[in-house]
Structure 1
Amino acid sequence: VDGFAQANILLLIMKELEKHKPEEFKNDPIDELVHTFIPHVEVVTTPDLEEVIAQVLAGQTALVVEQGSKVVLIDSREYPIRSPQEPDIERVVRGPRDGFVETIVFNLALIRRRVRDRSLVMEYVQVGKRSKTDVALVYIDSIADMENVKWLREKLEDISIDGVSMGEKTIEEFVFGRNYNPYPLVRYTERADTSSVHLMEGHILIVVDGSPSVMICPATFWHHLQHAEEYRQKPLVGAFLRFARFIAVTASLFLLPLWYTYATNEQLLSERWKFIGVKDHGELALIWQFLIAEIGIEILRMAAIHTPNALATALGIVSAIIIGDVAVQVGIFTHEVVLYVAVSAIGTFATPSYELSLANRIFRVFLLIMVAILQVPGLLIGITLWILLLVTTRTMNIPYLYPFIPFNPLDFKLVLLRSPVPYSNMRGHMLNPQDRTRQEDE
């Protein structure tokens, strides 16, 4: 296939074959070609014509010999690639800058570079009748729960679709279902070090060709709150960063609904806390101010994604002027609404998992609407429904809120604190690892 084959390799093979005459092949010409006359490493033979067609469409070169019983497949592919670079949404102050790319071979090489264990297994599955997308199931077979591996393998093999157009997201929807639950059941990462750490804990990776994002399975609510930066700093600093992130995520969910509840029910505030109430309700009802602000921030986020980097600064300045100043002056927003919406937005952007931040944003709007309709009971009902959703959600038969619900003190300590690595001797119970010992006690 033009664009895939490396011309220099094919020219070298052709020059070598031109040196020989047909009478030199004494026995099976195919075997002699492969073992003697083709100067290349990645060469296989197959009698299956369908496999030949599939491999040629995937970029390999087929060598057909007259009167031969097999076809020689030469892997001389060279994919169009970009060089590994640091992911935009998982930046760290210290740490490696090599992120995943769109080529599955290079992504698996980045993982293998960090996990040089003979137990590291990479199983390939082709998904899509027409696209024939390569999907790799990656795990350490001496650590990972093989029941989970079997379940994922069967789910991947059962996918029946023409093509995997949206890559890893299509795979996720087929494998995990629950498509109307906004909370993510897998964690996405573009960092090779993050993927490798999760492999060592007993997680399973799904790597899809054509995507720089790797799926980490399974992933609970707490996995989406972890960030590589916590493990690049001292344990105390890492614990502080994690605690600050928990506060930010909590604020992104509950700050606006709580303030709205107190603003519309000022009798709930003592005299000492009256200052957090509304000084001026503005021209619009508070609920409409919140909804307009939420939609406006989402539009600005989408605009920032589609804006070239050179214009992103100008977009931020214009947004600050329009939302922060002009909108207040004309009476669309009050100062308090701008403040609390901004703090909630910062908490949303501080959430390590982009998918979790979107789910939390949806439930924040849901809580605001519940408060607008039912006041204080609406807030309590909304929070109760949110907790029930998380409690009843399971990812690969693991409770989504584990180890908080059901409570496991040892595993919960791992979630809450960033323990020093020399004292982290055992793996957690959640993934049911075959080998729970991370390091031997001295």
Structure 2
Amino acid sequence: MATGLESNMTWLNKKLKADQNFDVVYRVIHVGGKNACIYFIDGFCKDELMQKLLQQFMGITAEDMPKDAHEMSKSFVPYVEVDLKDSWEEILYSLMSGVFALFVDGFDKCILIDSRTYPSRGVEEPEKDKVLRGSKDGFVETIVFNTALIRRRIRSTELVMEMMHAGKSSKTDIVLCYMDNRVDHAFLEKIRDRIKHIQVDALTMNQESLAECLYDRKWYNPFPKFKFTERPDTASAQVLEGNIIILVDNSPSVLIMPTSIFDVVEEADDYYFPPITGTYLRLSRFIIAVLTYLMTPTFLLLMKNPYLIPRGFEFIMVRDTVNIPLIWQFLILELAIDGLRLAAVNTPNMLSTPLSVMAALVLGEFSVNSGWFNSEVMLYMAFVAIANYTQSSYELGYALKFMRILNLILTAVFGIWGYVGGIILCILFMFTNRTVSNQSYVYPLFPFNAKQLAKRLFRLRLPGALDPVRKEKK
């Protein structure tokens, strides 16, 4: 930038299109006998603070006026976050991010005052990641608030919040959060390098756009490569375990890396209850996840091969007339359930209850009475639809759904060999999947580690849980 105010204003007004953008505000003032100009984005700056700063600047006399921007920022700017920049690229980035900019005639640097405030909602509990017991706060769309929620839980000097940017047009703020003494530094450097070399115009879908840039191989494998969470307590626990948390501005969820299948299934409720209860909840979630995958393909296999039905379970046979082949009933209901889910997302709250009752009646009793579906098929698909919500990961739910549909089709075409082949394909998809750090997706199952596997399957007593009184007695 130049030292002359007029040349700086001419260049900046043209660059910012100040005459066209109503929210780009600039005003010429007098500071200590010199002309000065302030620039800011309307809606990002605090009005009360702006008024106090203007009073301070206009109150500077010619005798007290400092000689350069450095002296002025140190002695005459009554604010905490103040910076000096002489690069137009850095000045424009700060200004478009909401930072207050002051240009003074004769100064070779711009004074940047970070007095911005972003519109935001409260840190209430997320709708998806709810817990029966524990903290009820959640991440929001403002990245500074999110980092503060983690800092509140980890008061350690080893906690690092590293700011980065991505997107040619959006210049989206990205924060790498990790414990410096616990993180894998080779993996950290790998992630840092990937973010630096992201060649995209904008992260339009926030963390999902970033995730696709960080992991671009094996896109056809539906099992999730990342774990997303909107809970600060979950994110903090992962940081303390040595993982990396990535926060993206404008997103209320964070990415956890690296992530295995066991990490995805874990939930905060496992640790907010005693070990035996937490173990029961975790194992229940594992078993139900397996049942959601096997329930309908197994039923279809038994209906095609009645001799495989164990003695005493003959009642599971379809008694009514089958007007539509069972495979088509299952596939239609798989699509219908997703249709209802999408409809529920876009339904106004005041209409959600009556429309839910109507959908239950139409798709339940009426569809069976009309002959489109058999009651047994409706029962098993209802279990699958409800059981999908026992774990919080949407990505894992849809991965199991895709594997289940594949198994249904293979079972309908090839019978028992198709059923076995579908299970083998599902296992192969899991075992050949890799984490972002290129580690095994099913560790500690493969490579096998009995101690770590027990820790993953069972909610063990937390380290250091023994109180000092009992230690002294020992």
Give the structure-1-normalised TM-score: 0.94
Distance in 1 of aligned mates of 2:446 and 2:387: 24
Q: Could you list the per-position Cα deviations for residues 346-368 of structure 1 after superposition, in whole angstroms to 9, with x for gaps in the alignment?
A: 22121221110011111111110
The yes-or-no answer on 1:42 pairing with 2:73 is: no
Distance in 1 of aligned mates of 2:269 and 2:346: 27
Distance in 2 of aligned mates of 1:290 and 1:47: 65
Q: Residue type of the partner of 2:158?
A: S
Distance in 2 of aligned mates of 1:313 and 1:249: 28
Distance in 2 of aligned mates of 1:88 and 1:120: 28
Offset at 1:224? 1.1
The yes-or-no answer on 1:21 pairing with 2:61 is: yes
The yes-or-no answer on 1:409 pairing with 2:450 is: yes
Q: Could you list the per-position Cα deviations for residues 170-196 of structure 1 after superposition, in whole angstroms to 9, with x for gaps in the alignment?
A: 000000113222111110000000000
The yes-or-no answer on 1:174 pairing with 2:213 is: yes
The yes-or-no answer on 1:104 pairing with 2:139 is: no
Offset at 1:402? 0.8
| Contact preservation (8 Å) 1:367, 1:378 | yes
Distance in 2 of aligned mates of 1:379 and 1:7: 66
Pairwise CA RMSD? 1.4
Q: Secondary structure of 1:394's match?
A: coil
Following superposition of structure 1 onto structure 2, how do residues 41-60 of structure 1 map, counting pairs within 5 Å?
41-60=80-99
The yes-or-no answer on 1:242 pairing with 2:282 is: yes
Identify unmatched segments of 5+ residues in structure 2: 1-40, 467-473
- The verdict on how the C-alpha distance between 1:135 and 1:278 changes in structure 2, with shifts beyond 3 A counting, is same
Partner of residue 398, structure 1: 439
Q: Percent identity?
A: 38
Distance in 2 of aligned mates of 1:141 and 1:424: 25
Offset at 1:47? 1.4
Q: Residue type of the partner of 2:69?
A: I
The yes-or-no answer on 1:119 pairing with 2:158 is: yes
Q: Secondary structure of 1:135's match?
A: strand
Q: Secondary structure of 2:373's match?
A: coil
Find the partner of 1:73 among 99, 108, 112: 112
Q: Could you list the per-position Cα deviations for residues 51-99 of structure 1 after superposition, in whole angstroms to 9, with x for gaps in the alignment?
A: 1111101110110111111110011101010011111111111111110
Offset at 1:147? 1.1
Structure 1 residue ranges, 4+ long, deviating more than 4 angstroms after superposition? none
Distance in 2 of aligned mates of 1:308 and 1:156: 38
Following superposition of structure 1 onto structure 2, how do residues 312-391 of structure 1 map, counting pairs within 5 Å?
312-391=352-431
Give the structure-2-normalised TM-score: 0.87
| Contact preservation (8 Å) 1:230, 1:238 | yes
Q: Residue type of the partner of 1:391?
A: F
Following superposition of structure 1 onto structure 2, how do residues 412-427 of structure 1 map, counting pairs within 5 Å?
412-422=453-463
Q: Residue type of the partner of 1:420?
A: R
Which range moves more in the overlay, 181-190 or 5-14? Answer: 5-14
Which range moves more in the overlay, 68-77 or 316-325? Answer: 316-325
Distance in 2 of aligned mates of 1:65 and 1:205: 41
Which range moves more in the overlay, 181-190 or 342-351? Answer: 342-351
Offset at 1:281? 4.6
Partner of residue 64, structure 1: 103
- The verdict on how the C-alpha distance between 1:320 and 1:397 changes in structure 2, with shifts beyond 3 A counting, is same
Q: Secondary structure of 2:63's match?
A: helix
Distance in 2 of aligned mates of 1:352 and 1:407: 26
Offset at 1:22? 2.9
- The verdict on how the C-alpha distance between 1:151 and 1:281 changes in structure 2, with shifts beyond 3 A counting, is farther
Find the partner of 1:196 among 236, 239, 263: 236
Q: Could you list the per-position Cα deviations for residues 218-258 of structure 1 after superposition, in whole angstroms to 9, with x for gaps in the alignment?
A: 11111111111111111111111111111211111111101
Offset at 1:136? 0.5
The yes-or-no answer on 1:159 pairing with 2:198 is: yes
Offset at 1:117? 0.8
Offset at 1:34? 0.7
Partner of residue 185, structure 1: 225
Distance in 1 of aligned mates of 2:248 and 2:221: 23
Identify unmatched segments of 5+ residues in structure 1: 426-441
Offset at 1:423? 6.3
Q: Could you list the per-position Cα deviations for residues 22-58 of structure 1 after superposition, in whole angstroms to 9, with x for gaps in the alignment?
A: 33235x3312211111111111101112111111011
- The verdict on how the C-alpha distance between 1:284 and 1:90 changes in structure 2, with shifts beyond 3 A counting, is same
Find the partner of 1:262 among 296, 299, 302: 302
Q: Could you list the per-position Cα deviations for residues 257-304 of structure 1 after superposition, in whole angstroms to 9, with x for gaps in the alignment?
A: 011101111011233222222223521000011011111111001111
Q: Secondary structure of 2:44's match?
A: coil
Q: Secondary structure of 1:379's match?
A: helix
Distance in 2 of aligned mates of 1:424 and 1:127: 42
Distance in 1 of aligned mates of 2:179 and 2:62: 48
Alignment length (residue pairs): 425
Q: Secondary structure of 2:111's match?
A: strand
Q: Could you list the per-position Cα deviations for residues 159-180 of structure 1 after superposition, in whole angstroms to 9, with x for gaps in the alignment?
A: 0111110000000000011322
Q: Secondary structure of 1:357's match?
A: helix
Q: Residue type of the partner of 1:106?
A: F
| Contact preservation (8 Å) 1:248, 1:351 | no
